[in-house]
Structure 1
Amino acid sequence: MTSRGTPSRFLKSVLQNGVGRYICQLKRISIIFSKTSPGSLGIREFIEEGVVDYTKKNPGTVVYVSPQARETPKLVAEYLNGNVREEIVSSKTSQEISELVAKLTNQSGMEIIRLRKPFHTDSPSIQGQWHPFTNRPPSIGPIRPQKPEAK
């Protein structure tokens, strides 16, 4: 926690993801719905139309479909780091559910919090961060837009 009262952390890569090959952090997704509830209509349509396409695009993610009587329809996403996210999908359309599943697939499973700095290193440089004007002599002065010439 910081003095602002909101949790924050430094920017970091999950398991060096993106260095080498990409590993999807979503391990398993469970679709829980009711066979008869009107609130589960969108999730039933998603199961009929989109689950097979999703599993073909994401072979590393296991999809469980479990009908349960009188249960609120929800998606339960489990990630490699052990975090679990539950999303209630009652009265959502098939398109909204497919967008939500895509969002859950692209996330790392870590909670979304404020980042302290856009850069961080474990071994900081003595010189400081480089930018295009690092070695620019101060005698030149600041860069200003050119004025149009009068004709």
Structure 2
Amino acid sequence: MSNSHLFLKSGFPRAPLQNGLGRYVCQLQRITLKFCKNNGSSRGMRDFIENHLVDFAKENPGIVVYVKPRRHRTPVLVGEYLNGEREWLSCRNSTQDEISKWIDLLKTQNGSSSSLRLRKMWHTDVPSIQGPWTPFMLRSPDALSQKYPSSEASKPLDAPTTATEKLIELFKQQKLEDEADISKKHAK
């Protein structure tokens, strides 16, 4: 078992700003492309900047794009999100297509998915006062003490009458009352 989770922040999954209930708000606030002008491992980053960066900036006006040349360093993508989190990705020896896919991934994330150890896989803003539901919640307490296989447990439960069956019963009662009224009228 790994102990790598000990150094991660702990929390609950949560949609930031209730994203998706109203209009969609892109959580990526700014992206920084760091690269070397001469290093061979930055070739894909340089190609992306020359060919696709202007189109990306036009398509996403809500994301601020910074380009930062650095000497003798490996290319890096840094995404900063509205919640203050930063996502750092190394793009060493990546092609321009791979870099565009990494940027799309940063654009669609909310910034807290990979750097957070989830305590639960679900979260609600309004927790239940009654506690969590279990399959044994509405069972009879007698079922807990039974030994299985049991002939009593295998019997079908008395199903409540359906609305259709109740209507048929009411119709039959009404028909009997009408016949009784008719026989009283004829008896007079």
CA distance in 2, matches of 1:47, 1:93: 12
Alignment of 1:20-59 (within 5 A): 20-59=22-61
Identity %, equivalent residues: 38
- Say whether the 8 Å CA contact 1:27–1:60 is kept in structure 2: yes
2:120 pairs with 1:116 = yes
Counterpart in the other structure of 1:91: 93
Q: Which has the higher contact order (CA 8 A, sep 6+)?
A: 1
- Say whether the 8 Å CA contact 2:13–2:118 is kept in structure 1: no
Counterpart in the other structure of 2:73: 71
Query: Over aligned residue pairs, what C-alpha RMSD do you find?
Result: 2.8
Bigger radius of gyration: 2
- Say whether the 8 Å CA contact 2:83–2:111 is kept in structure 1: yes
Normalising by structure 1, what TM-score? 0.74
- Structure with greater proportional helix content: 2
Gaps of 5+ in 2: 139-155, 160-188
Counterpart secondary structure, 1:30: strand
Counterpart of 2:27 in structure 1: which amino acid?
Q
Worse-superposed segment, 44-53 or 99-108: 44-53
Counterpart in the other structure of 2:102: 100
User: By how many angstroms is 1:113 displaced?
Assistant: 3.5
Normalising by structure 2, what TM-score? 0.61
User: By how many angstroms is 1:18 displaced?
Assistant: 1.1
Decide whether aligned partners of structure 1 residues 45 and 128 sit closer, same or farther in structure 2, where only a CA change above 3 A counts: same
Gaps of 5+ in 1: 130-134, 142-151
CA distance in 1, matches of 2:96, 2:73: 18
